[in-house]
Structure 1
C-alpha cells in the first residue's frame, strides 16, 4: 500500500469535488426538462476549452498512463508517435472533416453513414460499434483501471471495478455530455499536475542517484539524456528493440495515420465533443488546443518511464510496473494527487464511452424503431443504456481479460482488424461521389478478412505496417467494385424517411409509399462546404506541424 492517510484524504476530497461539480453543472433552469440535445450533445453549447479538455481527458486513461510509461521504460520515446501523429491528425480533421459533419448537422457516426450510404449500413455499423465499445473498449478501460488501482494502492480488483463503475455513474448519468465535458476540464488539470509531479521527482531522483547529493532536476535531465540516449530515438532502426511494434519510418507514412485518423475523426466516443461545440470555430479552436496537449503529453508520460529505466533496472521483465515504482518517489500528499490524476483519467474515459454508447443506441437504434418517442423518453432510454452498459462491462471484464497478459493488445487485436475498413468507408463516402453500398461492404469485410489472413500467414509483418497494407488493398478493391456496379445500387425507403435525410431529397414528409434513392443521389456536395479557417487557426495549425517536424529532426539526427 503506497498511500498514506494524507494521500487518501486528498483523494477523497477529489472524489467529493468532482461529483459535486458534475451535479452543479447538470442543473437545468426551472421548468426546463433535459431533451436529447441537452443530454447527448450538451445543447451544442460547449466552448473551445471544454471541447479540447474533454478530448484529452476522454483519450487518456490507464493504458496511456501506466502503459505508455511502461513502454517508455521498455522501448523509449518512439512510443510517443501515437501522441505526436495524433496532434497532426487533429489539425487535418478540424479543417477538412469537421466542417462536413457540422454542415450536414451530423450528431452520430451511424447517422452520417445513413446520410451517405443508407439505413441498412447505419443500423449494421451502429450495432457493430455498440459491441466494440461495450465488450472491447469499456471492458478494457475498466479492467486496466482496476489493475492500476490494485498495483498502485493495493485495491482489490473486484472492488476497483465496482468503484470505477459507481463513480462514473455518479457524475455522468444525470447530466450527460455536459457533465462529462465540464468535469473533464478538472480532470485534465489534475492529470497534468500529477504528471508534472511525477516527472519532477523522477528527474530529481536520477540526479541525486547518479550525479550527486547537490544535483538539481536539470542535472538529472542532462544525465538521463546522455546515459539513455538510445531511449530518445523517435524513429527506430530494424535492429533496435521495439521495431516490431513501431516499424521505423514506415510507421510515419502508413499505419500511424490510419490509427489516428480513424480514432480522432470517425470515432463517436471522441468526435462527439466537437459535434457539441457552439459552432465550427469553437470546435476547431478546441481541437487545436487538444493537438498541442498531445504534443505535450509524452513529456509527462513517457519521459518518466525512461527515467525509471535507469532508476529500477530490475523491472526489465515487467516494465508496466514502472509507473507504480515511480509513485514511491512522490512525497506524501502529492502521491494522493498523482493517484487522483490516474483515477481521473480512467473515470473520464469510462464516462465518455458510456455517453457515446447511450447516444448511438438511443439515436441510431431506439429512435429509428420508435420514431414518435418523446424527448423525455429518449433521455430516459439514454440513462438506462449508460447503466446497463456499465453493468455488462463490469460483469464481463474479468472473464474476458483476466487471462490476457497484455490487455492493451486485446484492444488492438479486435479494433485493429476493422480500423482500415472503417476509415475507408468514411473517406470514400466524403470525398468520392461514386462510392456506394458495395464500396462500404467490401471495405468492411475486406478489412477484417485480410487482417486475419495476414495475422495467420504473415505474423512477422509489424502490426502498423499490416494495417497500411490492408488499407491500400481494400481501397483498390472498393474502387474496382464501385466502378463495376456503377449506378446499379439503389435503396427503397419510406418517403417520410427520405424527407428526413437533412433535406437532401425534396419529398413531402407526410407522403406515403416508398422513394427509390440511387447511390449517386447520396453523394455529398462538397462545393457548399466552407473549409476556410481563421488566421489564428492557420497559425496554430502550422505551428503543430512545424513543432512535429522539428522534434523528429532534432531527436533523430
Structure 2
C-alpha cells in the first residue's frame, strides 16, 4: 500500500473529526433527545445544505451510478437532476408545514393528521427500510470503494469477500462510535469539511481523468470522450432502456419527493434548522451540490468506458479509475471523501433510527405503561438500539454482492417497498381534511401487498417506476373513497406549535427559477441535441 495515499487519507479524515470536536466541545445540548437528535434546532443553512448533500452522496452513489453509466448510459443522471424539482417543492411546501407543527420526525404529521397508530406503523416501515436497505448498503458500497482504492485484499493476501467483511467491520464500528458519542451536530459539522473535500476531489478526478484519457492533454481527453461511445453520453433513456426518460414524470418524481421531503434521515437536518428561511436556503444549497454531482457520480463512469472496455466486476469502475489516474495525495483525498460520504449517510441513518425508535415507539410505550419517560433513559436505550442495528448490518451487508441484477438495481427496487406507500398517505393527508385514519392503514396495506406481488409473483411488463405511479393513483382513489363513505366527523386543522421562526426566505423564488433552468440545461447537454448527438 502506498504510504502517501494512506497518510493523505488519514489527514483528511482526522482533520474533519478534529474540526467537529473543536466546534462541539463546549456544547451542552446533547443531554436531551431534541439536543442529541436535532442539534437543539440550531443549524444554519451551510450545515443543512452540506449535510443533506453529503448524506445523499454516499459510497452507494459513487459505486452504483458510475457502474450504471459504465454498463448502460447517462440516463441514471435523471435520478439526481429530477431531484432538483423535488427538493424545491419540499422547501416551498413541506418544510413550512413540518416547522409549523414543531415536528421532530416526519411521521409526527401523521399522528396529528390521522392518529398515533398510523404514526407508529409508518415509523416501523421507516425502521425496516433502514435495517434492510439503507445501513447495510452504505457499508457495502463504502467497502467496495475502499478496497478498490487501497487494494486491501491484495495487501493482506485475503479473498475479496473477506476484504469486504473487514472494511465493513471497520466502517461500522467507527460510524457507530461517531454517532453515539457525537449526535447530529457533530455529524453536520464534519459534513461541511467533507463537502469541501468532495468538491476538490471531484474536480481532480475530472481533470486527471481527461488528462489520462488524452495522453497528457486535457482537451484531447474531452474530445475523445465527446466523439466516441456516444451511446453512453445520452441521459434521455429510451423506452427499452433500464431507466426510460418517461419514468421521470411518474414513479421517479414520487420517489424523489418522498426521499427529500419525507425520508427521516435526509429531512432531519432541515428539521434541525434555526428557522424556516435557513432551512429553505440549506435545501437550495444542497440543490447546487446535486447540479455538480455528475462530476463524481457519472463522468468517472464515462471515462472508465474508454479505459476499461471489458471490466469483469463492473462495480469496481469508479475505485479502479481513481486508483489508476490520480496522484497518490489525491487518491487519499478521494478515499477520505468516499469514506466520509459513507459515514455521513451511515450516521444519518443511525441517528434517524434512534430518533424514530426513541420518540415514536419507545417513549409512547413507556408512557402507556405508566413509566416515567426519563430523558437519560431514552437516550441510553436509543443508543443501545443503534449499536444493535450496526452489528446486524455488519453481518449482513457483505452478502449484497451476490444480489442478481446489480448493486444499483438492488438499491432502488428495495427502497421502493418503503417509500411510495408512505408518500401516498402523506399526500392524501396534506390535501384532504376528512379522510379518516382507517384510509391510511388500508392504503399502506394495499400498496405494499400489490407492489410486492407485481415484483415477485407476476410480471406486468411495466417498468417498476410506472407500477409505483399506477399504485399511487389507485391507492389514492381507495383512500378518497373511504373518506367519502366514512369521513371524519370534523375536518382536520393543522396545529400551530412552531418551535422556531417560520417566516420564509424572501428571495427564494428567484433562486428556485435559476436552479430549475440549470437542471433543464443539464438534460439538454447530455442528450442527442447536445453532446450525445
Q: TM-score, normalised by structure 2?
A: 0.90
**Match 2:79 to one of 57, 82, 85:** 82
- Superimposed CA distance per residue, residues 133-164 of structure 1 (whole angstroms, 9 cap, x where no aligned partner): 12321112112222322333233222211210
Shift of 1:402: 4.8
Q: Is 1:408 matched up with 2:408?
A: yes
Shift of 1:331: 1.3
In structure 2, what is the Cα distance between the partners aligned to 1:475 and 1:256? 17
In structure 2, what is the Cα distance between the partners aligned to 1:441 and 1:370? 24
- Residue pair 1:50, 1:181 contacting (<8 A) in 2 also: yes
Instruction: Write the mapping of 1:86-485 to structure 2, written as runs, cut at 5 A.
Output: 86-155=83-152, 156-208=163-215, 215=217, 217-238=218-239, 243=241, 245-248=242-245, 250-315=246-311, 318-327=313-322, 328-371=324-367, 372-398=372-398, 401-405=400-404, 406-455=406-455, 456-458=457-459, 460-485=461-486
- Superimposed CA distance per residue, residues 24-57 of structure 1 (whole angstroms, 9 cap, x where no aligned partner): 3332457x76222210100100000100000011
Q: Cα distance 1:460–1:532, how it changes in 2: closer, same or farther (>3 A)?
A: farther
**Match 2:34 to one of 25, 32, 37:** 37
In structure 1, what is the Cα distance between the partners aligned to 2:459 and 2:337? 40
In structure 2, what is the Cα distance between the partners aligned to 1:75 and 1:93? 31
- Residue pair 1:247, 1:464 contacting (<8 A) in 2 also: no
**Match 1:543 to one of 514, 522, 525:** 514
- Residue pair 1:28, 1:34 contacting (<8 A) in 2 also: no
Return the index of the structure with the highest Cα Rg.
1
In structure 2, what is the Cα distance between the partners aligned to 1:531 and 1:26? 26
Shift of 1:521: 4.7
In structure 2, what is the Cα distance between the partners aligned to 1:115 and 1:425? 13
Runs of 4 or more off by more than 6 Å in structure 1? none
Shift of 1:132: 1.7
Q: Cα distance 1:438–1:234, how it changes in 2: closer, same or farther (>3 A)?
A: same
Shift of 1:83: 0.6
In structure 2, what is the Cα distance between the partners aligned to 1:374 and 1:460? 53
**Match 2:4 to one of 3, 6, 14:** 6
Residue aligning to 1:492: none
- Residue pair 1:266, 1:423 contacting (<8 A) in 2 also: yes
Shift of 1:523: 4.3
Shift of 1:178: 0.5
- Residue pair 1:61, 1:349 contacting (<8 A) in 2 also: yes
**Match 1:71 to one of 28, 50, 68:** 68
Of the structure 1 ranges 254-263 and 299-308, higher mean CA displacement relative to structure 2 is found in: 299-308
- Residue pair 1:89, 1:257 contacting (<8 A) in 2 also: yes
- Superimposed CA distance per residue, residues 272-327 of structure 1 (whole angstroms, 9 cap, x where no aligned partner): 00000010000000000001111110133201211111121122x54322112212
Q: Cα distance 1:459–1:11, how it changes in 2: closer, same or farther (>3 A)?
A: farther
Q: TM-score, normalised by structure 1?
A: 0.86
Shift of 1:533: 4.2
Superposition RMSD in Å: 2.3
- Residue pair 1:18, 1:171 contacting (<8 A) in 2 also: no
- Residue pair 1:62, 1:145 contacting (<8 A) in 2 also: yes
- Residue pair 2:65, 2:408 contacting (<8 A) in 1 also: no
